[in-house]
Chain A
């Protein structure tokens, strides 16, 4: 029998007489879910911290092989519950590629609008919890208040506030309700002015900047080597965004900037850069939503798809820019109505690898900042 993972991780710890091994988690206020960071420290200074993941493994990929193509859609919500729209979209795209169908343009636009609203909502949680991990509790509730407005908007669209189950294979489940556009525009106007207050409250707060600048600097080369993706990759100064560089859905029609870390407060790739990239992405998402609402075409929201689609034998992969980085769905069909193999690659999982490398020499409070700045969500790691 294989040795349990915990035992293997503990064996790698070699505390001297002056060092202790301490478990950050699995129940800890700042691990963003059930993750255990086995940490060897000398007082406040960390020698090595190894993430022990898998506490939230629910075998979702295996479920995908047993429930049939449309049936797996609600499960994708549970992969990344903070950005469920984007997880939906990725899975729908993978199956659509397998079925070789094109979806109506209105569905593409609705997916983009809903996805970007969801990205803003996710980034509010990300920056809010990061502030809370650094010790400021007020920004978190303000961020949640902003997210509440977004939840209301998405609830109006699809009836759910967290696990949306909005995308369908071949389109989306509901059309935009009446007056939705005006409500979104009103919120975006508020959002763009609110970001300035947010920056005054926390982003540029001297204590906050001092806590994050030059902490856990991930260089450009390291970020690429460790396969970081999304805001974590862009925080290290790598300008890569799947929406721009491998455009999908309605994204070729929009113009937007891809914010990258510039080391404004310290070094490129420090915790503050990863944080700032997220704040700037909120504004870019707002830009995309405005364009999409302007150009929103009329027409159907669903392509013609069989109730139980049976794709030809083959394989397909879809890459979407989720809120936590590039999310890849890989589906293999054997010609039946269930996937032969379904795999998901997620951003949080990729972020786990670099923690051991970065943790050496950090202080305990810095490790919390590093974990928060990588914006990990435990169910997305374990699936």
Chain B
């Protein structure tokens, strides 16, 4: 007789699997949504007109007074804080989501104790990391060792400036947005290199050299693949690229152009490699290099490295969604319809806020779908070897991305009706593939006879 453990009766997860799934999905969507909702509601205030309108209501004339600048500063500070916070919260939630998914895939339970279905476990982990000893090896280069995680942090936070989240929810819609994003996200590799070098450990050095080679190489196919939607939209602005697409799948760039469909996969593969996710987790390759570039780190500093790795998934997903999958475009609702509901008042109408929220929901859902895909890949695939990683990049992805680039040069000249036809054909094909995949998976699962574990003793 086996002693009954948390495995069976007491665990909420095993008793209510559907509720557990629903709660997981709710938290996944709600948190990024809430954080950006703050941004959404503070955005109207960082315009001079809206500030004046508020002041007029109270009968003040701000003119060019100091109050005005102070208020302005506060609004920007709040917005900046929330954007920066978003990375931390998203990384935390993702650790929880990833461990839940991994537990499900690996026929184990995963975190389920603190909070509802273990949701607070990421807070507990963060607090634990904060209290751990911050150990710095005696032989390490002290200054560089201490500063390396912040290089990575900067590389993580800067791209959030141009990442869109909804129709009007973006910190700064730069006209060189895509270029800015690829440039700033590359700063992460600086953190990897510095940490590997300053640790004065052979394992860390191996990890850092692998990381540098990998990230720098994969930036080339990623950069070229990103040029495909940029050419199709005719702009480098993130919001501009999304506005050039539509809400329905056949209006997405990935479907409008066969080359963009291929470029989507190239860009996602390359971003997996840039984000050091399996199958490209060579820089930290646990079974080979112990922990790679962060082998010597502990406490809060390793928490920063891990946070960068997880939050980077949002950048990877959001970039792919923006460029290829229609961004925040709501199916059946055009951008003009949303802007018409804004009204002529200084403050937008409630309907406008409703549309904004809907667009945020669409964007968050799509991005989460990609993030879950990355998580899924991580827990399924083995790791490639370092020479295979290089040959995949230079022999297949770079030429493939160039081919897509040249194809698109001609594709932008064909009439819009061809784009529509291609969009419908590719989106139908992709749906068929997804259905076939689901059916095949179902068949594979049902082929295994009997319970996976003999539960008769429990």
Contacts and interface: CB of A to CB of B under 8 A. Distances in A.
B375 to A, nearest CB: 12
- Majority DSSP secondary structure for residues of A touching B: helix
Contacts of A364: 206, 288-289, 386
Interface string B419-458: 0000000000000000000000000110111111110110
A365 B385 contact: yes
A145 B7 CA distance: 14
Given A138-B379, A145-B453, A148-B453, A133 B447 contact: no
Nearest to A200: B444
Given A29-B290, A152-B457, A196 B447 contact: yes
A187 interface: yes
B388 interface: yes
Given A196-B448, A211-B384, 16 more contacts: A22-B203, A44-B387, A135-B279, A135-B287, A141-B107, A141-B108, A145-B452, A152-B457, A186-B454, A194-B452, A201-B380, A210-B388, A211-B388, A363-B385, A363-B387, A364-B289
- Majority DSSP secondary structure for residues of B touching A: loop
Contact of A135 (B106, B209, B281, B387): B281
Contacts of A222: none
In order of increasing CB-CB distance, the 7 nearest A-B pairs are A135-B383, A190-B450, A141-B106, A136-B382, A134-B382, A193-B449, A135-B382
A38 B93 CA distance: 41
B202 interface: yes
A239 to B, nearest CB: 29
B380 A363 contact: no
Contacts of B447: 193, 196-197
Contacts of A136: 380-383
B454 A202 contact: no
Contacts of A366: 385
Contact of B448 (A44, A197, A202, A368): A197
A151 B445 CA distance: 24
A52 B454 CA distance: 41
Contacts of A365: 285, 288, 383, 385-386
Contact of B287 (A133, A149, A193, A208): A133
A30 interface: yes
Interface in A125-140: 131-138
B356 to A, nearest CB: 40
Contact of B385 (A43, A189, A211): A211
Contacts of A196: 447-448
Contact of B381 (A29, A146, A205): A205
Given A28-B290, A134-B287, A20 B202 contact: yes
A142 interface: yes
B278 interface: yes
Contacts of B381: 135-136, 205, 207
Interface in A197-237: 197, 200-202, 205, 207-208, 210-211
13 contacts: A22-B203, A29-B290, A44-B386, A134-B383, A135-B281, A135-B285, A137-B106, A137-B379, A145-B452, A145-B453, A200-B444, A207-B382, A208-B382
B105 interface: yes
B382 A22 contact: no
